Amino acid sequence: MREVFHQSLEELQSGLVEIAELVATAMEKATTAFGTSDVTLAEEVIDADSVIDERALALDELAIEILARQQPVARDLRIVVMSLRVSASLERMGDIAEHVAQLTRMRFPERAIPKGLKSTFTRMGELDVALARDLAELLRTEDLDLAERIRNADDDIDELHIAVFEKVLSDSWQGEASATVDATLASRYHERFADHAVSVAKKVVYLATGDWAADPPA
């Protein structure tokens, strides 16, 4: 019985790692699609999002089943609660990758990536992907250095987010309204993606350290 219980807990943790990896791949493809106006790749990301949604849902069901049947305590309980809170953020990160892909599809055959911001968005995408991969690794290993790296990447993304607005609101900006809308949305998506990762990382830190109180809700 205890063995079945611990198998379930391991399943929960490995399930979160898998979803984080799917999310990283989704953002990687979405970034490439956005940068190269590759509508086929964008559609692949859009189609694949339902897999992330289903995985998150299945994991929540497993978490609830563990709570109901096993009535875990202490660290075991914290793992289950962490999973219930983290799965929603991971699922949301998948949605955001899908939104980046949808921007690409919406503008096709035009380029979604606004002129003069190509390198900025490429960099934001790369940072988001790296941060999602670090998140998967953090969920697997609870290596808290990774949480620090995620926070730093989030700071870099926030700076790029501000740079996008400075560009768009500068006198030199010649983009049409559609380019302004796309830049605003794409930048906001990347920034939110990183925020969710930081929020997940915090929950893993508090799982490892046992300090829930300092954990701001996502």
- Residues binding a copy of itself (CB under 8 A): 53, 56-57, 60-61, 64, 67-68, 71, 73-74, 77-78, 81, 84-85, 87-88, 91-92, 165, 168-169, 173, 175, 177-178, 180-181, 184-185, 188, 212-213, 215-218
Considering the complex, what minimum distance in angstroms separates the CB of residue 60 from a copy of itself?
6
Considering the complex, what minimum distance in angstroms separates the CB of residue 126 from a copy of itself?
24
Nearer to a copy of itself, 32 or 120 (CB): 120
- The string of DSSP letters for the chain reads -HHHHHHHHHHHHHHHHHHHHHHHHHHHHHHHHHHHT-HHHHHHHHHHHHHHHHHHHHHHHHHHHHHHHH---HHHHHHHHHHHHHHHHHHHHHHHHHHHHHHHHHHTTS-SSPTT-HHHHHHHHHHHHHHHHHHHHHHHH--HHHHHHHHHHHHHHHHHHHHHHHHHTSTT----HHHHHHHHHHHHHHHHHHHHHHHHHHHHHHHHH---TT----
Considering the complex, what minimum distance in angstroms separates the CB of residue 175 from a copy of itself?
7
Considering the complex, what minimum distance in angstroms separates the CB of residue 167 from a copy of itself?
10
Nearer to a copy of itself, 130 or 185 (CB): 185
